[in-house]
Amino acid sequence: MTSSNPILAVKGLSHTYGHGATAHRAIAQVDFELMTGQAISVVGPSGAGKTTLLRCLAGLQTPTGGSVEIEGVPVTRVPSSIGVVFQDYSRSLMPWLSVKRNVEFPLRGHGLDKREVQQRAMDALALVGLTAAADRHPRQLSGGMQQRVAIARAVAVQPRILIMDEPFASVDAQTRAELEDLTLSVRRRTDTSVVLVTHDIDESVYLADSVLVLSGNPSRVVDQLPVELGYPRDQLTTKRQENYLDVRSKVYEMIHPHRMTQP
Amino acid sequence: MVGAVTDPMTTQAVRWRKWMSGPRAWLRSLAGVPVVVVGLLIWQWQTTRHPVFFLPPPLVIARRLKTDWLSGPAHSLFLSHEGLTAIVQTFQTALIGWAIAAALGIIVGSVLGVRPSLAAFAAPPLLLLRSVPPIAVIPIAIVILGLGDSMRTAVVVAGCLWPILLNAVAAVSGVDQVLRDVAALNHLNPIQTFVRVLVPAASPKLFAGLRVALALAIVLSVGAGMFAGSGGLGGRLLTFQNNFDVPGLWATITVLAVLGAIVNWLLLLVERSALRWNIQGETL
């Protein structure tokens, strides 16, 4: 899953909320590139401006400095080549729509004919293994299943970049592992590039080709570590590999610089 | 298990709904009937023993109900011609005025709800206008529009607009930012966002405003008819009052109560089917 041209380039991005004395600088400076087909995870202490960064990538917010380019084109509004998975499925899914209608939601109103819309929605549901739940409502499903619906909705538009904002923070550990593997399989089958914002260090290494470590407020890039693990990956063997443990402890030390000295 | 119910109020509501929808639910829904029957019997018995001028016995009222209102043919639901005309006039005014207020209130309220800066400008005049008792609008409406249908409809609109509008502002501004982000990410234009995201997400609170306004619409339609001294149920009440026809008054009040309940029940049916997804306790 490597290629030589970046699909996403973030250049000198900074963001400040407000003006004058009450101004709050969330991002000092962030630069990174994401190669086509690759996955990058963004980790950092809480309040490190990760959500601000993500909103700037998705075009939901205009950064006060620097730029975001997708395939060489500066992002000035919401690009059509992205899909976003939010942290809280209970807030991002439409409770009044069935699972199928939720996945159809982004496809409707863009000139696709009805059969095409339904076909693409069912394909996306098949990708996350939820074909059987198509006619149920989100609240009738478990948390993990609801987040799968959110993933299906994000990939239904066949995005070039999938942006995930702490996507598995609201589910239990067992479900989290399942959803991580699901994300790997979705990537393998759709060839989508991924930006994953997380505060789970294991996850940041397991799912990505490189880990971008941010400092606390206002955030800067501490380091960008390559993850040389290859594919396919699985929870047992991948997490036992020397490379995995090595990157994992490096990231850990960068985020918790004082922990190692404690008794 | 998601959405575990912990709120005591909700728990009570869930318990009530389970009780009402369990086996032999139809029998339970009749639980209040004996209370009404016993009340009517006591009323009949006492007022026959000690006649009171302003409170005739239920059977006298029932007889007037029959002669005044229910003496018509089957094809008009047994309603008398005069009765039907009055009912149609009052409820047509109420429903048209309510519908206009609903459309206006929801659209303007939604715009204010998504634009906090606009809402800041609009808040002082809105609060002032909301504080005007709706009845107080009637005299000025008569001066401007005369005694006809347009005056009565205008009064209903002027009264119903505020609860609907203010509820819409609160409902729409309370729609989760994440849902608005989802709309923005999918390139929905403002009208699509309104129709496909804001209105459905806000609908539980919107319905609350609509229900309050519907009761108010009937009050104002009757009230405006009374002020105008003609037309509809309000006009009939005024005529009966002027003739000291107490049983006639009570029969008219009964008609109002029954029709009000029917209209409210119809709205509740619409609400329940539109908000099926929002019913508490209907989880895994």
What's the pLDDT tens digit per position in A121-162? 999 999 999 999 999 999 999 999 999 999 999 999 999 999
Q: Determine the structural domain holding residue B180 and report its residue range.
A: 84-284
User: Does A135 reach chain B within 8 Å, measured CB to CB?
Assistant: no
The string of DSSP codes covering B214-260 is HHHHHHHHHHHHHHHT-SHHHHHHHHHHHTT-HHHHHHHHHHHHHHH
Cβ partners under 8 Å of residue A151, min gap 6: A85, A128, A167, A179, A182, A183, A186
Question: For A60, which of B184, B196, B284 is closest by C-beta distance?
Answer: B184
pLDDT for residue B284 = 33
Considering only CB atoms, B178 lies closest to which of A58, A92, A140, namely: A92
Examine residue B75 and state whether it is found in any structural domain, yes or no: no
Domain CATH number, residue B98: 1.10.3720.10
B168 within a domain of the structure (yes/no): yes
**Residues in chain B with pLDDT < 50?**
1-5, 281-284
**Per the omega criterion (within 30 degrees of 0), is the bond before B124 cis?**
no
**Among B55, B36, B46, B69, which residue's Cα sits nearest to residue B247?**
B55
Provide the whole-model pTM: 0.82
In a domain, B18, yes or no: no
Q: What is the pLDDT of residue B109?
A: 94
Asked if A80's CB is within 8 angstroms of B2's CB, the reply is no
Structure tokens at A194: 């991924």
- Alpha-carbon gap: B176 to the closest alpha carbon of chain A (Å): 7
Instruction: Please state which CATH class domain A1-81+199-263 belongs to.
Output: alpha beta
pLDDT of A184? 94
Kindly state whether residue B21 falls inside one of the protein's structural domains: no
> With an 8 Å Cβ cutoff, is A167 touching chain B?
no
Domain membership of residue B14 (yes or no) is no
- The count of structural domains within chain B is 1
**Tens place of pLDDT per residue across chain A (263 aa):** 445 689 999 999 999 998 888 888 899 999 999 999 999 999 988 777 888 999 999 999 999 999 999 999 999 999 988 999 999 998 999 999 999 999 999 998 778 899 999 999 999 999 999 999 999 999 999 999 999 999 999 999 999 999 999 999 888 999 999 999 999 999 988 889 999 999 899 999 999 999 999 988 888 999 999 999 888 899 989 999 999 999 999 999 888 876 555 55
Residues of B in contact with A139 (CB under 8 A): 2-3, 277, 282-283
Which residue bears the tokens 């019913």? Answer: B279
